[in-house]
Structure 1
Amino acid sequence: MVDFSDEDFPADPYPGSRPDGSFVHIGKSGHHLVNGRTLPDGTGLDEFLSAHGAAPLAGRLPVLAYGSNANPSKISWLRDRLGLRGPVVVIGAECHGVSAVWSAGVRARDGQRPAVLAGLPGVVEHHAVWLTTPDQRAVLDECEGRGERYRLSWVHAPVRLEGHGALSSVLAYTARPEAVGADVPVHLNRSPLVVDGHFVRCSEVGQADAVLLVGVAGGEDGLVVSEVSGEP
């Protein structure tokens, strides 16, 4: 038995919808997690992972999903197109001082405006964190265009994971400096969009209105990060 299927959470419009709280996704469906650690039938998350031949929680690293990567249909797309394997553990996350904001660029394949991460002191947002195996994180590298549009970074900001405690830093795909600025081509540009002097938070403006926004490419994202070279 499953708690939800991909059809319950369509990917379009970007960033798609996602289940409330934490969940584990496998085979175009998923299970909600109670307090981030237990399936509804009482099975512990590590027990579930072991039954599927997957790495335990202790063998995984946290990667912030602030755009479409917490959408179940997108996770299945990663399985179908990029070879993502195994259960995907997605934990609800309370993030302090960082925000998903709309990019100045648009996606080449459909013209939708993607999200980028930006520093916004005092803001608290609820996103999600994948607890990734090394091969799952490599799939995210490919999907996110690591080295082209985004870089993998440790973002130094407080994040509290449901049932898993607090982190002082979390891995995330943040805009590369080379992808930021007014002269970057629109399909590669991952500058925060600035409208009337402010970033536009994704939580406040939906995709239908975001694609119509007129602004300028921000010169920096305001994040405090340490870029990862090679494997984290």
Structure 2
Amino acid sequence: MVKLFTDADFPADPYPGARPGHSFVHFDGAGHSLDTAPEGWRERQAVLAYGSNACPSKITWLRENMGLTGPVVVCHARCTDLAAVWASGLRFRDGQRPATLAAAPGVVEEHAVWFATPEQLAVLDHCEGNGRRYRLVRLTAPAITLDDGTVLDDVVAYVGAADIRLPILVDGRHIRVADLEQRRAAALQGIPAETHGLDCTLVDAGTLVREASRD
């Protein structure tokens, strides 16, 4: 089977890591074409990956450290009216500043969407600290379009819950990840935003996993 790339082509450091600008299926430390995806992958839960979860090396880290299993289907997507922005706090383990999600009217960004199995969603939920650092929500008015033109209408995402994962405001404005590299982002001085500003509803991840398991 032909590999599109290996993890070494897309290192995880500095955060948020490097990522392909196209869709792929990740397994065995490498990316493969979307036609290798398991049957029925489009019926899985779509999860917006706007930070390090779009990085192939991070996906392998999830396998090695958190028990992630199976092929991971990752689709390239065009996202409107939202943005990956820098969070107000730093990561404890390495002092890097993570990303978080915020409303951004008129902004268009390219991100990744996992089509996750129930087991994969449970791993993401644990990794993101759902209910503590981040909170799992369903985007109620998503404008997320895959490269093949499919417009997704059921997308969940992790947004800031604790102050340290809400957007940082510098002189009253968000700082987009696309506009500032990690080295400079880590040195930002600002205050936490009061909210991410997104139209969304809270999701109980346990219920979502159980419902997906019955499908």
User: Residue 59 of structure 1 contacts residue 133 of structure 1 at CA under 8 Å; is this kept in 2?
Assistant: no
Distance 1:207 1:129 in 2: 22
Shift of 1:169: 4.4
131, 137, 160: which one pairs with 2:145?
Answer: 160
Mapping 1:196-211, distance limit 5 Å: 196-211=171-186
TM-score (norm 1): 0.85
Counterpart secondary structure, 2:143? strand
For structure 2, the 5+ residue unaligned runs are 209-215
User: Match of 1:116?
Assistant: 100
TM-score (norm 2): 0.91
User: Match of 1:31?
Assistant: 32
1:49 and 2:38 equivalent? yes
Shift of 1:231: 2.5
The 1:107–1:30 alpha-carbon spacing in structure 2 relative to 1, beyond 3 Å, is same
The 1:59–1:170 alpha-carbon spacing in structure 2 relative to 1, beyond 3 Å, is closer
Paired AA for residue 61 in structure 1: Q
User: Residue 42 of structure 2 contacts residue 115 of structure 2 at CA under 8 Å; is this kept in 1?
Assistant: no
Q: 1:59-107, CA deviations, whole angstroms, 9 ceiling, x for partnerless residues?
A: 4110000000010000000000011000000000111111000001010
Mapping 1:89-168, distance limit 5 Å: 89-156=73-140, 157-163=142-148, 165-168=150-153
Identity of aligned residues (%): 50
Distance 1:102 1:3 in 2: 30
Name the stretch that deviates more: 163-172 or 221-230. Answer: 163-172
Q: Which runs of 4+ in 1 moved over 4 A?
A: none
Distance 1:170 1:29 in 2: 25
Paired AA for residue 83 in structure 1: G
Distance 1:23 1:209 in 2: 30
Shift of 1:215: 1.2
For structure 1, the 5+ residue unaligned runs are 39-44, 51-55, 181-188
User: Residue 152 of structure 1 contacts residue 171 of structure 1 at CA under 8 Å; is this kept in 2?
Assistant: yes
Distance 1:154 1:164 in 2: 21
Distance 1:206 1:4 in 2: 24
Distance 1:111 1:13 in 2: 11
Distance 1:22 1:231 in 2: 28
User: Match of 2:199?
Assistant: 224
User: Residue 166 of structure 2 contacts residue 193 of structure 2 at CA under 8 Å; is this kept in 1?
Assistant: yes
Q: 1:25-62, CA deviations, whole angstroms, 9 ceiling, x for partnerless residues?
A: 001111144xxxx3xxxxxx4xx425xxxxx2144110
User: Residue 159 of structure 1 contacts residue 169 of structure 1 at CA under 8 Å; is this kept in 2?
Assistant: no
Larger-Rg structure: 1
User: Residue 79 of structure 2 contacts residue 111 of structure 2 at CA under 8 Å; is this kept in 1?
Assistant: yes
Distance 2:133 2:74 in 1: 24
Paired AA for residue 49 in structure 1: P
Shift of 1:109: 0.3
Q: Compare the two structures and name the one with the higher helix fraction.
A: 2
Q: 1:139-191, CA deviations, whole angstroms, 9 ceiling, x for partnerless residues?
A: 00011001211111101221101226002441001112xx13xxxxxxxx112
